Structure 1
């Protein structure tokens, strides 16, 4: 006899929890608890100040390989047919997560803990920009600072192992990145060090004497732990790692490169596509968007061809902010304009809010134009002539609301989801959703001028062109210059941004493929639902259904929209219209 108990599904219905469900829950609960202890603080970790940096040494890496190998075997023993309807979906998502983690561990991705614009030391530095509210936050921070020498030594050892087998980012993408370390090693006083920032202004709820104690301990930790760890790293980068990084750009030149690149395609797109198939999709989509761009040129009565129009957009002063403050204020105004439209397009809104802040100066030269996540929308104010205002609306919809500032918080706030769905990020889903939000801006009336709409199209073209460029670099022998020229000729991106973007694609194989393929999946699913449901289609219900799932592989999203159609377009929340 099978024991059953009642559980509440995400849609509010009751479902039977079978013995097989219990077995599955025991597997993922144990692994997730273990996995949480492996995590580092990084720029997307929200308000949590962890007292520890992760163990990334050889024994810990071997433990991760054993754990995910063992979990894979346990999942193979589960019969999905015996799971509840809700857990059938959970099983598919969780199995994909574990397969991705295990594959990355087998390829020893941890031996390359950096790319062109992101690094383990940069992620740690992000902790200093978090919100410190309590004495315990500061004590956790002090504990973390004390672990920095151990953590940096382990990462350097991993990088040396990667270097020995030719598993490094290409040299061109890491040259000059040592400058992101000197911002920690060079300040003349501890108080000027970025890691001291949380101590500069402390909450009034912490007694003055305790504040002084914490400041003194912080200054000592920065002087005795943080700065020496960064000096060791800086010497390693300058004397060994950067000079000996591999010269070839393509993923195929890495150990077992063809299989490795295919694994990255699967990880970042969750789809079974070959590089050649993706390359062709990119070429086809670029051609479609090109035609839409020409329509906007006719609308503004521009006399000339597309290259001339792109030159005009890149050089006319009217399209660029004169001060960093102007750029930040324009981004804030766009975000507030969306707030006035949100209720018409979404039935369920996140409780979490976000701040708009500039990208820190030490990483800004190598960073993207903007980046968002729970609690923050980072706007890059470095090199203002490369930050066009006509693209700012699209950027803001993507990086703040309703893009990343909706998707990630709504997943975290959905207590009906198991934790492995609340707190993980699948690039095809997250980036696909954010790019979809850029396009949704047309329907929402967010683009006030044809130039703004062209900025959106340029961003769509940018992501479609990534399909061509990423596969071109990593599977078809494209040069860095060839990739830059392709973006220069097809998008309105500034040349500085083109350079930083191409270096990101070179150093991070496959990640650039997630955006457009994820958006295309959402758009295709919406078109299918609109056709099937006709007048019953409700855009708020559709958006709530997509966002209610958390971060999921694309086949899971497609199946959920098929169920949305079968249920007559009903949204996931009881009060859905």
Structure 2
């Protein structure tokens, strides 16, 4: 998809400001006058968001994934039978993070969501990870990838098993997170803070990546003028809300891989614009479940192709 980089750079900064205003409101609801960072500290200390041990973590992941499949199927999504199964696993690696692997072509191996637990970690906090379960599982990558694999009558093997465009795939996963917020699954203050914190990181990545690689002036809050490593680090740590080691890795990756980091948030934006366009065209006849089915049945394509196919322009 064609992207107006100057407009998107401004939009990214507006998104960061909007998201952090919402986070501040939640923090103040937790404790009058609390900053976002103080809100994070309060949530980290709240026992209701804590799990002890990897067995409890795995069980929590599986329960959340199963619950959402049951509540979304036949209401907001057509979920084929084999795709209604997802396995949640503790990864053999110890690098940190959550990721997804798709099912085999015949579904003898189901789609799997993996949590890679760093060595020595035994306590886990759910308030900032529920949104990731939706991102990697349902309605995120598992539904997206699993439904594509299932559609052997519509799509060839390459489009079902190999085709991947970051803006399409990661944009869908962020759209899935937002959809869950829209449907009320993020109404709990902690879970909503977790979703907003993840969105803030993705929006900050848009600003840093485009600003650095296009030579746009940095925001005044980090000193304006030309971007440099220190300004990017200040911006990322202010709005990233993650461990310093992870943020260092993230920033170094952005500097060496232009365009990858902002594809998530820009992709989400284009998915939302497409949904709005279809809703406007169809009016009262618009059906969210039908929109999801139509879009996911196309498989992994570029966002311009997705739009043209959904709108039946090709």
TM-score past 0.5 threshold? yes
SS across alignment from 2:159: helix
SS across alignment from 2:33: coil
Q: Does 1:381 align with 2:117?
A: yes
- Does the CA contact (< 8 Å) of 1:320 and 1:385 recur in 2? no
Match of 2:18?
288
Which runs of 5 or more structure 1 residues have no equivalent in the other structure?
Answer: 1-269, 565-577
Give 4+ residue runs of structure 1 displaced > 6 Å after superposition.
none
Q: Does 1:469 align with 2:218?
A: no
- Does the CA contact (< 8 Å) of 2:76 and 2:289 recur in 1? yes
Match of 1:499?
248
CA separation in 1, counterparts of 2:274 and 2:143?
20
Higher helix fraction (1 or 2): 1
Give the direction of change, closer, same or farther, for the CA distance of 1:406–1:474 in structure 2 (3 Å limit): same
SS across alignment from 2:167: helix
- Does the CA contact (< 8 Å) of 2:171 and 2:265 recur in 1? yes
CA separation in 1, counterparts of 2:53 and 2:244?
20
Give the direction of change, closer, same or farther, for the CA distance of 1:468–1:316 in structure 2 (3 Å limit): same
Q: Does 1:458 align with 2:197?
A: yes
* CA-atom RMSD in angstroms: 2.7
Equivalent residue in structure 2 for 1:346, among 77, 91, 99: 77
- Does the CA contact (< 8 Å) of 1:321 and 1:384 recur in 2? no
Q: Which TM-score applies when normalising by structure 1?
A: 0.46
- Does the CA contact (< 8 Å) of 1:546 and 1:557 recur in 2? yes
- Does the CA contact (< 8 Å) of 1:372 and 1:405 recur in 2? yes
**Cα deviation per residue 1:79-133 (whole Å; 9 max; x = unaligned)?**
xxxxxxxxxxxxxxxxxxxxxxxxxxxxxxxxxxxxxxxxxxxxxxxxxxxxxxx
SS across alignment from 1:524: helix
Q: Which TM-score applies when normalising by structure 2?
A: 0.81
Give the direction of change, closer, same or farther, for the CA distance of 1:500–1:359 in structure 2 (3 Å limit): farther
Match of 1:422?
160
Which runs of 5 or more structure 2 residues have no equivalent in the other structure?
Answer: 103-110, 216-225
CA separation in 1, counterparts of 2:257 and 2:59?
32
CA separation in 1, counterparts of 2:247 and 2:212?
15
Match of 2:149?
412
CA-CA distance at 1:390 after TM superposition: 0.9
CA-CA distance at 1:337 after TM superposition: 1.4
CA-CA distance at 1:545 after TM superposition: 1.1
SS across alignment from 1:498: helix
Equivalent residue in structure 1 for 2:45, among 312, 316, 323: 316
CA-CA distance at 1:301 after TM superposition: 4.5
- Does the CA contact (< 8 Å) of 2:27 and 2:38 recur in 1? no
- Does the CA contact (< 8 Å) of 2:134 and 2:140 recur in 1? yes
- Does the CA contact (< 8 Å) of 1:350 and 1:413 recur in 2? no
Equivalent residue in structure 2 for 1:444, among 175, 179, 183: 183
SS across alignment from 1:466: helix
CA-CA distance at 1:473 after TM superposition: 4.3
Q: Does 1:337 align with 2:67?
A: yes
- Structure 1 segment 90-489 matched on structure 2, within 5 A: 270-274=1-5, 276-313=6-43, 315-316=44-45, 318=47, 319-343=49-73, 344-349=75-80, 351-352=82-83, 353-361=85-93, 364-365=94-95, 367=96, 369-374=97-102, 375-382=111-118, 384=121, 388-415=125-152, 416-423=154-161, 424-447=163-186, 449-476=188-215, 478-489=227-238
Relative contact order higher in (CA < 8 Å, ≥ 6 apart): 2
CA-CA distance at 1:467 after TM superposition: 0.3
CA-CA distance at 1:425 after TM superposition: 0.7
- Does the CA contact (< 8 Å) of 1:393 and 1:446 recur in 2? no
- Does the CA contact (< 8 Å) of 2:12 and 2:203 recur in 1? yes
Larger C-alpha radius of gyration, 1 or 2? 1
